[in-house]
């Protein structure tokens, strides 16, 4: 547990977040019901309303996971069936990463996204515990097997989780997305399928993230390049040189996965509690320390609250920035996932 200074920082952060997030009309519905009403279509498609209303395997898997965790069997089945019908088009059990709605839309690229597949498998395992007897665990095993074949590679001395089955390997290097190491999913797969090497993937991921830290604060980048020879790590030029919309998930993944002592979590806590910033930044450029001219949204604020709260001895969930204050699917989803992490880490298991 941290010092009283950390507690004051959490209180100050809560006040700052209240100022940053514009007040909205209070919603009477619970956070999951609100998310479902705003972002899940009657057919079961989770809409990314800030990105031309497309759908991702990530969003579908998050929707399934949240539905299962809230015991919403109708929503789970609806989202699951749409996902299999529209994204389950590959020859394996992995999901195509993006669906574009409207005329001429659909799936244009059969490549998968590893984070979506990991959360898909986790959602299936969660559903198996909720509603056994529907074959969800067997499907999760098949997803895990195919993910091992398609996206886990030995790169020099490292066992690496690639972002997808295609497009991230070159003769001299590979690319990695640090936020795709969803430790709560990796640990669940390791426990459910001990014959598969998911515990090794998780351990190697922890070690990789401890090394892949850059800039004054020592934060992970959105995208990382790993040299095959020598294993040097550098942010991907252009899209990778920020602790931004992807990398903000890394501290969430670590804390939720019971790894709050990891160097990235400590670095993120220092960054998010920096008194020099007038607002909590949405991103920081690692090479120049330039911060976003606008504040972080509710999703990033919820993750930051979770990180700072666990270091100060938790606190009341009602103080966490709300998913219902988020305008976008991504912000709302991150806030809901941070809420689920808080529940797992502060409340005794319910057995569900």
- Full strand arrangement of the beta sheet holding 173-176: 173-176, 224-227, 233-235
Nearest partner of 212 among 169, 164, 170, 246, judged by Cα: 246
Q: Is the Cβ–Cβ distance between 201 and 159 less than 8 Å?
A: yes
Q: Is 115 a catalytic residue?
A: yes
Nearest partner of 97 among 172, 153, 32, 162, judged by Cα: 162
Q: Is 246 a catalytic residue?
A: no
Q: Is 160 left (phi over 0), alpha (psi -120 to 50) or beta?
A: beta
Residue 54 — φ and ψ, nearest 5°? -70, 170
- Give the whole-angstrom CA distance, residue 90 versus residue 100: 17
Q: Is the Cβ–Cβ distance between 222 and 244 less than 8 Å?
A: yes
Q: Which of 34, 48, 72, 115 is catalytic?
A: 115
Cβ burial 259-273 (10 Å sphere, 16+ → b, else e): bbebbbbbbbbebbb
Q: Which of 34, 58, 72, 204 is catalytic?
A: 58
Q: Which two tokens stand for residue 282?
A: 């949405």
Q: Is the Cβ–Cβ distance between 164 and 148 less than 8 Å?
A: no
Active site residues: 58, 115
């Amino acid at each position: 547990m941290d010092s009283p200074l950390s507690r004051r920082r959490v209180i100050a952060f809560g006040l700052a977040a209240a100022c940053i997030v514009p007040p909205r009309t209070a919603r009477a519905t619970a956070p999951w019901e609100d998310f479902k009403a705003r972002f899940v279509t009657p057919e079961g498609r989770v809409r990314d309303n800030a990105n031309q209303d497309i759908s991702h395997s990530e969003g579908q898997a998050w929707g399934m996971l949240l539905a299962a965790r809230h015991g919403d069997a109708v929503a789970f089945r609806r989202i699951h069936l749409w996902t299999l019908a529209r994204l389950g088009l590959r020859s394996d059990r992995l999901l195509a990463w993006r669906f574009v709605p409207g005329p001429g839309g659909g799936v244009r690229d059969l490549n998968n996204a590893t984070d979506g597949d990991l959360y898909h498998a986790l959602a299936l395992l969660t559903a198996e515990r909720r509603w056994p007897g529907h074959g969800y665990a067997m499907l999760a095993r098949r997803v895990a097997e195919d993910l091992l074949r398609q996206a886990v590679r030995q790169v020099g001395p490292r066992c690496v989780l690639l972002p997808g089955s295609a497009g991230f390997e070159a003769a001299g290097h590979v690319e990695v997305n640090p936020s795709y190491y969803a430790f709560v999913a990796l640990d669940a797969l390791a426990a459910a399928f001990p014959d598969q090497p998911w515990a090794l993937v998780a351990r190697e991921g922890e070690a990789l993230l401890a090394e892949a830290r850059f800039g004054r604060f020592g934060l992970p980048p959105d995208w990382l390049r790993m040299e095959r020879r020598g294993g040097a790590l550098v942010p991907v030029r252009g899209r990778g040189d920020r602790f931004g919309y992807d990398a903000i998930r890394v501290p969430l993944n670590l804390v939720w996965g019971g790894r709050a002592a990891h160097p990235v979590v400590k670095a993120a806590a220092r960054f998010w509690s920096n008194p020099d910033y007038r607002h909590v930044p949405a991103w920081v450029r690692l090479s120049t320390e330039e911060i976003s001219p606008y504040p972080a949204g509710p999703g990033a604020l919820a993750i930051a609250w979770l990180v700072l709260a666990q270091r100060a001895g938790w606190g009341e969930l009602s103080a966490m920035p709300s998913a219902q204050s988020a305008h976008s699917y991504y912000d709302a989803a991150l806030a809901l996932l941070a809420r689920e992490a808080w529940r797992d880490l502060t409340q005794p298991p319910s057995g569900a």
